[in-house]
Structure 1
Amino acid sequence: MQFKLSFLTGSLLAALTLTGCGSDSNESVTPNENTKTITVIDGYLTNAEVCVDKNNNKQCDDGESIGFTNEKGQLIVSEEQAAYPLLAKAVVGKTQDSDSIGYVANSYTMSASKNLDVITPFTTMAHNDNISFEELASQLNLDSKTISGDYIVDKATNEEAIKAHLIARSLTSALPEDLTLLNKEQITKVITAAQKTIEKHENNGTLNELDDVRVVIDEAGNIEEQQLVNNLHSYLTSKEAWFLGSMNQSYISDEGIQKAIYKADGSSEWFDKEGISSGTEPFKVQGNHFIEADGSKGDEFIFTSPNLALTVASGEGNDLLFWTSEKLDDSFTPEKLTPEQFANKTWFYVGDDSTTHNPDPMMAEMKFSPLDENGIGIVTISENGESFEITWQLKDVTTDFGSHNVLFLDFPEGDKDMAVMQVTNGNGLMLISDLNRDSELFNLFIDNKEQAETIIQKWVNAQE
Structure 2
Amino acid sequence: MKKSLLAVVIPAVMLAGCGGGSDSDAGPNPDEKGAVTIQVIDGYLSNAEVCVDRNRNQACDAGELLAKRTDTKGQTSLSAEDRQYPLIARIIAGETSDNDQPDVVWQDTEFYAEAGSLFLSPFTTMAHLNQQTMLDFAASLNLDSSLLTQDYVALAATNPEAEKIHLYARSIMKMLGSTLAANNTETQKVQVQELKAFIQNLVNQNVDLGTVDLSVDAQGTVTRSARFTDLAGYLESRTLYTTFLNTFEYQPRKNIFENGTIHDPATGFTSEYEVTGLKLKSDLLHTNFLYVDDAVALSFMTPDRDQNTNAYNLLSVWSERDVASGDNTYLTADDFVGQTWYHLRDLASIRDGRAAASKPAFTEIRFGTEGQIEIQPRGEAAFDASWTIVPKNELPNPNNPPYMQIIRIPYGDIALRESLAGAKGMVLQTLFHHQDIVIAKEMMNIRFDEGEVDAASIVLLTRNKALAEAIYQAWQQ
- Normalised TM-score (structure 2): 0.68
Contact 1:344–1:367 (Cα < 8 Å) also in 2: no
**2:292 equivalent among 303, 319, 326:** 303
Contact 1:38–1:77 (Cα < 8 Å) also in 2: yes
The equivalent residue for 1:138 is: 139
**1:335 equivalent among 324, 327, 333:** 327
The equivalent residue for 2:407 is: 409
Larger radius of gyration: 2
Contact 1:243–1:260 (Cα < 8 Å) also in 2: yes
Cα-to-partner distance string for 1:192-248 (whole Å, 9 max, x where unaligned): 23123223324444352673223244xxx77563635423112112213x332432x
Contact 1:334–1:404 (Cα < 8 Å) also in 2: yes
Contact 1:216–1:226 (Cα < 8 Å) also in 2: no
Residue 405 of structure 2 aligns to which amino acid in structure 1? L
Deviation (angstroms), 1:318 = 6.4
Q: Which ranges of structure 2 fall in alignment gaps of 5 or more residues?
A: 1-29, 306-310, 349-357, 377-381, 395-399, 413-423, 446-453
The equivalent residue for 1:230 is: 229
Distance 1:215 1:405, change over 3 A: closer
1:40 pairs with 2:56: no
Deviation (angstroms), 1:256 = 6.7
The equivalent residue for 1:264 is: 259
Distance 1:108 1:193, change over 3 A: same
- Supply the distance in 1 between the matched residues of 2:175 and 2:320 (Cα, whole angstroms): 30
The equivalent residue for 2:110 is: 109
Residue 211 of structure 1 aligns to which amino acid in structure 2? V
**2:470 equivalent among 455, 458, 463:** 458
- Supply the distance in 1 between the matched residues of 2:375 and 2:190 (Cα, whole angstroms): 30
Residue aligned with 1:124, SS: helix
- Normalised TM-score (structure 1): 0.70
Output aligned runs, 1:47-196, within 5 Å: 47-66=47-66, 67-128=68-129, 131-196=132-197
- Supply the distance in 2 between the matched residues of 1:445 and 1:255 (Cα, whole angstroms): 17
Distance 1:125 1:426, change over 3 A: closer
The equivalent residue for 2:248 is: 253
- Supply the distance in 1 between the matched residues of 2:466 and 2:428 (Cα, whole angstroms): 26
The equivalent residue for 2:8 is: none
Contact 2:389–2:405 (Cα < 8 Å) also in 1: no
The equivalent residue for 1:280 is: 271
Deviation (angstroms), 1:94 = 1.5
Distance 1:144 1:256, change over 3 A: same
Deviation (angstroms), 1:257 = 4.5
Deviation (angstroms), 1:309 = 0.8
- Supply the distance in 2 between the matched residues of 1:255 and 1:412 (Cα, whole angstroms): 24
Deviation (angstroms), 1:155 = 2.4
Distance 1:411 1:354, change over 3 A: same
Distance 1:97 1:361, change over 3 A: same
Ranked by relative contact order (alpha carbons within 8 Å, sequence separation 6 or more), the top structure is 1
Contact 1:390–1:409 (Cα < 8 Å) also in 2: yes
Distance 1:121 1:439, change over 3 A: same
- Supply the distance in 2 between the matched residues of 1:176 and 1:62 (Cα, whole angstroms): 22
Cα-to-partner distance string for 1:366-390 (whole Å, 9 max, x where unaligned): 689xxxxxxxxx6765567956342
